């Protein structure tokens, strides 16, 4: 019994330790935040794929941060045909019945002043992702055979309206953000978000791991093109996309940020790896990624990744208007960074972490367009250790 108590004590100690190695944060202690189901969304038709109401996690701001807001949209790929949408209804990505009852807030959502000095006391929200369309779908009809609801855009509006009523309408600062498929709406809806906060002095948007690339020279339709066609046809997402893009090209292409970001009037910040693991996985055969994780890099893999990097960098916003376009583009094999505590305030380019870079840009301290000077990817899965599989 005594040994058990000692082991339990050691486990509690180890689990609560915050280890600082230079700037690297290995762990952090955060309170779990409870799930809230937005029942009122049902009357607006703002529901998950299976018709259940959407949910969110809310950590209330305090002190000087009480009138500041961060709205973060969770990601988790997409459903682009009836079969995979039905599959999602059996998970938290299609039904709030399966949503986590609690979730930790890390990175830019952390309540730890040391780890997150700029935003720890803001009102911080995570919106669950249960519509499969990056919050762009809006179909009135419900198929009685499947009971599938395609209402992602309505969820976006219902959530924002809810938080406006909870005090966000009086915000001094506001950030719309998200990761992966949840970062795409932070771009698509950025100007809508700005328009709903006419009296807020500073409103900006951050997309993390969401700059999905369209490679123009592909001979065959890519996986992402297939996804986007499905979103347009199944979820009727086209009406949520910027007219500045859909007036010039087919709507499915206007789900690629490279084609619509130029029309976003609100300032945006892009956090992405030029060797984003999700994009590497859906672009190349799976053994490419496995080789990299095993720190092996055949010449044909290196060449393919160098070409991908050049295409990705060419698709980014032009580096001329740094006040409205900020970026932090790394070389690590990562996908999404900002709510991972040991990445948000530790991963750096030119000795500036993501947290510092975004803070400098968001608060207008300095323009920020950081791109890591690496030809090939870094294996950072034992971060802060970085290895170069292609060296």
- Cα dihedral sign for 223, 256, 71, 321? positive
Q: Which residues contact 258 (CB under 8 A, 6 or more apart)?
A: 211, 213, 214, 315, 316
C-alpha distance from residue 374 to each of 24, 169, 294, 322 (Å): 21, 43, 19, 22
What percent of the residues of the chain are helix, what percent strand, and what percent coil, each to the nearest 5? Answer: 35, 20, 45
Q: How far apart are CA 38 and CA 55, in angstroms?
A: 6
H-run or E-run covering 127: strand 123-127
Output the furthest CA–CA distance in the chain (Å, rounded): 72
Catalytic residues: 180, 276, 335
Give the span between the Cα atoms of 40 and 93, in whole angstroms. Answer: 20
Q: How many CB atoms lie within 10 A of CB 160?
A: 19
For CA atoms 389, 18, 205, 225, give the dihedral sign: positive
The Cα 380–Cα 252 span in angstroms is 33
Rounded to whole angstroms, the Cα distance separating 388 from 312 reads: 20
CA dihedral 184, 286, 341, 364 (to 10 degrees): -40
């Amino acid at each position: 019994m005594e040994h058990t108590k000692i082991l339990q004590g050691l486990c509690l100690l180890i689990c609560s330790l915050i280890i600082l190695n230079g700037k690297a944060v290995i762990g952090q202690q955060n309170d779990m935040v409870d799930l809230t189901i937005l029942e009122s969304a049902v009357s607006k038709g703002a529901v998950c794929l299976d018709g259940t109401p959407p949910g969110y996690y809310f950590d209330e701001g305090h002190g000087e941060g009480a009138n500041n807001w961060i709205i973060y949209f969770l990601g988790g790929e997409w459903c682009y045909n009836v079969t995979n949408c039905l599959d999602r209804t059996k998970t938290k990505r299609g039904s709030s019945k399966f949503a986590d009852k609690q979730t930790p807030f890390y990175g830019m959502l952390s309540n730890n002043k040391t780890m997150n000095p700029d935003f720890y006391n803001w009102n911080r929200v995570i919106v669950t992702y249960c519509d499969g369309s990056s919050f762009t779908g809006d179909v009135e009809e419900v198929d009685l055979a499947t009971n599938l609801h395609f209402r992602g855009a309505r969820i976006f509006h219902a959530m924002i309206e809810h938080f406006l009523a909870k005090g966000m309408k009086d915000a001094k600062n506001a950030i719309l953000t998200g990761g992966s498929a949840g970062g795409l709406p932070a771009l698509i809806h950025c100007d809508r978000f700005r328009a709903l906060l006419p009296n807020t002095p500073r409103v900006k948007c951050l997309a993390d791991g969401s700059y999905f690339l369209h490679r123009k020279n592909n001979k065959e339709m890519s996986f992402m093109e297939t996804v986007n066609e499905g979103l347009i046809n199944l979820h009727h997402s086209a009406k949520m996309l910027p007219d500045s893009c859909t007036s010039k090209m087919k709507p499915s292409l206007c789900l690629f940020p490279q084609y619509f970001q130029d029309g976003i009037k609100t300032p945006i910040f892009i956090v992405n790896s030029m060797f984003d693991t999700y994009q590497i996985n859906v672009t190349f055969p799976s053994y490419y990624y496995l080789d990299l994780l095993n720190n092996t890099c055949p010449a044909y893999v290196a060449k393919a990744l160098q070409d991908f990097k050049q295409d990705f960098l060419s698709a980014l916003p032009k580096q001329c208007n740094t006040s409205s376009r900020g970026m932090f583009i790394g070389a690590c094999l990562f996908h999404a960074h900002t709510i991972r505590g040991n990445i948000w305030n530790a991963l750096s380019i030119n000795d500036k972490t993501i947290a510092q870079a975004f803070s400098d840009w968001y608060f207008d301290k300095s323009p920020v367009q950081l791109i890591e000077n690496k030809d090939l990817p870094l294996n950072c899965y034992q971060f802060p250790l970085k290895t170069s599989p292609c060296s």
